[in-house]
Amino acid sequence: MATPSLKKFLYLSIAAAVVTIGLKSGAYLLTGSVGLLSDALESGVNLVAAIVALGMITLAERPADEEHSFGHTKAEYFSSGVEGGLIVLAAASIVWTAIPRLIHPQAIENVNIGLLISVGASLINFGVARVLLVAGRKNNSITLQADGKHLMTDVWTSGGVLIGIALVKITGWLLLDSLVALAVAANIVWTGYRLMHSSALGLLDTAIPQQERDQLKTHLEKYRLQDIQYHSLLTRQSGQRKFIAVHILVPGSWSVKQGHDALEVIERDIRNLFQGPVTVFTHLEPIEDPLSMDDIGIERVQSK
């Protein structure tokens, strides 16, 4: 069964970014708040990131071909890496804008209307972020999860900015506007780092999560009741797709058809263990032959 396309979620993200850029830019022009300007800059990054993500999802969903036998799913990791870098760039822009205002504070105007507009933009981002995060987890898409986390960071950013502006209005301390903008920059740098870290792990062929590996091993142990054992279990995650390779040992007296039928059942059961696309590679070996264990070195040393 074909995997459903995820591009519709990124069209939603692009639309949300366009709307929130307009709202936040309008709020900045009305108030002159550098905090709101930093918020608008981050929404600009959201737009660029969503466009990049759309391009990478389009590439990742392309079927395997002669030059890419395992598909194009790793393209998703480039998207999350680029998004992380753009977030850091946005933080640098915020700092560049906030420091002069920190040295030369300016009064904020039309605070009430500016706050109202910013709240509206934040609610849009919150709704879209929730949709992306749910879809990302359901489809095991690092691109949707990265974009959702980015938008959720934008929501927290906006919340901090709103608090800062409200405190400026209450206390009259103009420096708070710039200080909040710098705090926002620090927060989104951390988000950018986490996205780039996740992207790097994917490009390094990191194994599927430990919980899923344990689930897989528990399942394979059940076949011992049928005189079937396993070794040399290898896994990796590539975007939405999981790749699992395992050597299966069966009685040497079995016919080729018996061994083949057993592998068909095992591969089907492994695919049914997980959501999303799973590619399973198996290798059949006679359990009595010592040579079957010569490739046991494929297994990786377990971390202590």
Residue-wise pLDDT for 216-247, tens only, equals: 999 999 998 888 999 888 888 776 788 899 99
Global pTM reads 0.60
- Sheet of strand 278-286: strand arrangement: 229-238, 241-250, 278-286
Q: Which of 21-25, 131-135, 190-194 has the highest mean pLDDT?
A: 131-135
Q: Is the pLDDT of residue 47 over 70?
A: yes
pLDDT for position 293:
72
Structure token pair of residue 62:
């392309």
Structure token pair of residue 229:
């054992």
232: Cβ contacts below 8 Å, ≥ 6 apart: 245, 246, 247, 283, 295, 296, 298, 299
195, with CB counted inside 10 A (0-12, 13-18, 19+), is buried
Residue-wise pLDDT for 239-259, tens only, equals: 678 889 999 999 989 999 999
Dihedral sign for Cα atoms in the order 58, 61, 66, 70: positive
Please report the domains of the chain, with CATH numbers, ordered by start residue. Answer: 7-203 (1.20.1510.10), 210-298 (3.30.70.1350)
pLDDT for position 4:
65
Residue 304's pLDDT band, with cuts at 50, 70 and 90, is: very low
Residue-wise pLDDT for 62-75, tens only, equals: 877 777 767 777 77
Question: For 271-279, what is the mean pLDDT?
Answer: 85
Q: Is the pLDDT of residue 266 over 50?
A: yes
pLDDT for position 35:
65
Structure token pair of residue 291:
């040579």
**Strand (E) or helix (H) holding 48:** helix 34-60
Residue 101's pLDDT band, with cuts at 50, 70 and 90, is: low
More reliable by pLDDT, 244 or 116: 244
> Got the DSSP string for 259-301?
HHHHHHHHHHHHHHHSSS-EEEEEEEEETT-GGGGGGGGGSPP
Residue-wise pLDDT for 144-182, tens only, equals: 877 887 788 778 777 776 777 777 777 777 676 677 767
Query: Given the DSSP bridges, would you call strands 229-238 and 241-250 parallel, antiparallel or unpaired?
Result: antiparallel
pLDDT for position 249:
92
> Got the DSSP string for 56-116?
HHHHHTSPP-SS-TT-STTHHHHHHHHHHHHHHHHHHHHHHHHHHHHHS-----SHHHHHH
Asked whether the beta carbons of 152 and 129 are under 8 A apart, the reply is yes
Residue 6's pLDDT band, with cuts at 50, 70 and 90, is: confident
pLDDT for position 102:
67
